[in-house]
Amino acid sequence: MTEKPSPALFTLYGIKNCDTIKKARRFLDAQQTNYQYHDYRLNGLSDETLQRFINTLGWQALLNTRGTTWRKLAEEEKATIDNAQAAKALMLAQPAIIKRPLLAAADGSMLLGFTETDYQQFIRRSHNMFCPVIELAQQLIRRPSLSPDDAGCQALMIERLQAIGFTIEPINIADTKNFWAWRGQGETLAFAGHTDVVPPGDTSRWINPPFEPTIRDGMLFGRGAADMKGSLAAMVVAAERFVAANPHHRGRLAFLITSDEEANATHGTVKVVEHLMARQERLDYCLVGEPSSTVQVGDVVKNGRRGSITANLTIHGVQGHVAYPHLADNPVHRALPALNELVATEWDRGNEFFPPTSMQIANVRAGTGSNNVIPGELFVQFNFRFSTELTDGDIRQRVAALLERHQLPYTLEWKLSGQPFLTSRGKLVDAVINAVEHYTETRPELQTTGGTSDGRFIARMGAQVVELGPVNATIHKINECVKASDLQLLSRMYQRIMEQLIA
Ligand SMILES: [Zn+2]
């Protein structure tokens, strides 16, 4: 690993010839804790560090009113220390007055005073935060990979995968970085995902800078934490553990990673899939790490997605003066009954896995800006989110028939963004359900809701495709975050899926 070794996980603050500091250090040494010692007298105490202490612990707790330094103060001086500002100034001038020891973990949490049980608990809790999944997720978040820029995320993943015997095939197209990686042969399970993220928005509204990952109260914050660098970290670490336990696995484990999912998705997964299909690459099962969960990790698994197609319709008329309608042909008037029928149509009733197909008008535009002009054209844009009960061909045909019936002169352009796909019950769905149930004791719900995903492209390879990822409540938002323990669970789930399908 080229990443510089991570700094100490803990910092112990204090003053050298103090008994409790000595005790605390003896304890940390005996536990082989990865810590550094910071002496207020030797290493100083900055305003900024003290402010962090005060923010986290409160100035009253920090002020050691039982120690000799405090007792030596004049009563009048003691009386002035009744607010954070005054206490801070005093502590900066006389750090010996700060309660010792102070143990700070790299995630910002702190512990004052020393008892063996407190230390044991604090260290154990902090170590959970520093599992390899969280660490890799943080390394990925630190790389500001605004779509379609990869910013070195894939290099980091590739290095880890290469180290455990994966063969890597970069498939870089235009501004987009993609790679396909595999280990072993035969029946193939691929993990798919994207390294790109959406822009952070107004960075001043983030509690912490969006590309400086932080952990607060067990939540990992940062752009991409949930969508989907957390999943990527969970996948890579799952692969590492799986390979260590099953060096001669039966099937093939693969990765399909892109840096263009959030923006245009033109040079990303779709191109990799075309490339792989051209040489008849085998893909049986594909797990996409998109954030599918709603309240707890694994409560929702996506086993398909609706299709999406957009119509850009122009109804033609004849422009004229509103006072002389007989000399014009008003396209708005002509179109209204047709639009009404369009809105009232039941396209299908959905099925076991899909809600009924929905059509929504996204835009209607006509008029020249004058109240005395009959417009020459009416433009309408509408979008279908459609189930597997329909094909895009059916939709095109039914819309054309409707317009014909209303005898409308029109031009119509279609834009298909994605075909629907569905993976019904089978080995992959079963393995995913089993993995979730094993770790959470809840049975995941199979859903096909939400926008499109790269799963639509991968399904073309004939693979079973399922999406399982973290909770999606904050994706694309300010202060995007994910529960650190969810990522750890997710990694275990991914590993269990590997074990069931290709061990
Ligand atoms: Zn995503």
Residue range 176-191, pLDDT digits in tens = 999 999 999 999 999 9
As beta bridge partners, residue 301 has 446
As beta bridge partners, residue 112 has 102
225 Cα–ligand 1 center, Å: 10
Strand order in the sheet with 285-288: 167-170, 178-183, 252-258, 188-194, 285-288, 464-467, 300-302, 445-447
For strands 188-194 and 252-258, give the pairing: parallel
What is the rounded distance in angstroms from the CA atom of residue 91 to the CA atom of residue 97? 6
Residue listed under structure tokens 């304890």: 27
What is the rounded distance in angstroms from the CA atom of residue 377 to the CA atom of residue 331? 6
What is the rounded distance in angstroms from the CA atom of residue 157 to the CA atom of residue 237? 10
- Range of 10-19, 103-112, 278-287 with top mean pLDDT: 278-287
Q: Give the catalytic positions in this structure.
A: 196, 261
Name the DSSP letter for residue 207: S
pLDDT tier at 265 (50, 70, 90 boundaries)? Answer: confident
248 Cα–ligand 1 center, Å: 32
415 Cα–ligand 1 center, Å: 22
Query: Is the pLDDT confidence value at 349 over 70?
Result: yes
Strand order in the sheet with 377-386: 358-366, 377-386, 307-316, 410-418
- What confidence score (pLDDT) does residue 126 get? 76
281 Cα–ligand 1 center, Å: 25
- What confidence score (pLDDT) does residue 31 get? 84
**Is-contact 192 464, C-beta < 8 A?**
no
361 Cα–ligand 1 center, Å: 26
Range with lowest mean pLDDT among 4-8, 129-133, 262-266, 354-358: 4-8
Q: What is the mean pLDDT of residues 434-454?
A: 90
> DSSP H helical segments within 44-152, as ranges?
47-57, 59-62, 68-71, 75-80, 84-93, 116-129, 132-141
453 Cα–ligand 1 center, Å: 8
What is the rounded distance in angstroms from the CA atom of residue 435 to the CA atom of residue 498? 10
Taking only the tens place, the pLDDT of each residue in 121-168 is 888 777 766 689 999 999 999 999 999 999 999 999 999 999 999 999
452 Cα–ligand 1 center, Å: 10
Question: CA distances (Å), 325 to each of 314, 331, 368, 374, in order?
Answer: 20, 12, 16, 8
pLDDT tier at 216 (50, 70, 90 boundaries)? Answer: confident
282 Cα–ligand 1 center, Å: 24
> DSSP H helical segments within 143-228, as ranges?
153-163
H or E segment and range at residue 485: helix 484-502
Count other C-beta atoms under 10 Å from residue 136's C-beta: 25
State the amino acid at position 468 in one-letter form.
L
What is the rounded distance in angstroms from the CA atom of residue 141 to the CA atom of residue 482? 12
**Is-contact 97 69, C-beta < 8 A?**
yes
What is the rounded distance in angstroms from the CA atom of residue 68 to the CA atom of residue 441? 55
456 Cα–ligand 1 center, Å: 13
Query: Is the pLDDT confidence value at 4 over 50?
Result: no
186 Cα–ligand 1 center, Å: 29
289 Cα–ligand 1 center, Å: 8
70 Cα–ligand 1 center, Å: 55
Count other C-beta atoms under 10 Å from residue 392's C-beta: 18
What is the rounded distance in angstroms from the CA atom of residue 119 to the CA atom of residue 111? 8
SS3 197: strand
Percentage of the residues of the chain whose pLDDT score is greater than 70: 98
Residue listed under structure tokens 């149509």: 345
What is the rounded distance in angstroms from the CA atom of residue 231 to the CA atom of residue 290? 7
Taking only the tens place, the pLDDT of each residue in 26-37 is 999 988 888 999
Question: CA distances (Å), 445 to each of 299, 328, 436, 439, 468, in order?
Answer: 6, 56, 11, 15, 11
Query: Is the pLDDT confidence value at 1 over 60?
Result: no
227 Cα–ligand 1 center, Å: 5
pLDDT tier at 367 (50, 70, 90 boundaries)? Answer: very high
Query: Is the pLDDT confidence value at 496 over 70?
Result: yes
Residues 6 or more apart whose Cβ sits within 8 Å of residue 316: 331, 376, 377, 409, 410, 411
SS3 content of the chain, % helix, strand, coil (to 5): 40, 25, 40
450 Cα–ligand 1 center, Å: 12
First vs last C-alpha separation in the chain: 26
Query: Is the pLDDT confidence value at 500 over 70?
Result: yes
What is the rounded distance in angstroms from the CA atom of residue 170 to the CA atom of residue 271? 12
Percentage of the residues of the chain whose pLDDT score is greater than 90: 86
> Sign of torsion, CA 89 92 93 98?
positive
Name the DSSP letter for residue 247: T
- What confidence score (pLDDT) does residue 5 get? 42
23 Cα–ligand 1 center, Å: 48
Over the chain, what is the mean pLDDT?
A: 93
Q: What is the mean pLDDT of residues 260-275?
A: 92
What is the rounded distance in angstroms from the CA atom of residue 21 to the CA atom of residue 18? 5
Name the DSSP letter for residue 42: H
Q: What is the mean pLDDT of residues 330-352?
A: 96
Q: Taking the CA of residue 142 as centre, how many other CA atoms within 13 Å lie in the half-sphere pointing to its CB?
A: 9
SS3 214: strand
Q: Among 124, 100, 113, 98, which Cα is nearest to 9's?
A: 124
pLDDT tier at 450 (50, 70, 90 boundaries)? Answer: confident
pLDDT tier at 2 (50, 70, 90 boundaries)? Answer: very low
pTM of this prediction? Answer: 0.72
69 Cα–ligand 1 center, Å: 56
Q: Among 232, 208, 241, 237, which Cα is nearest to 291's?
A: 232
At 105, list the tokens. 């973990």
142 Cα–ligand 1 center, Å: 17
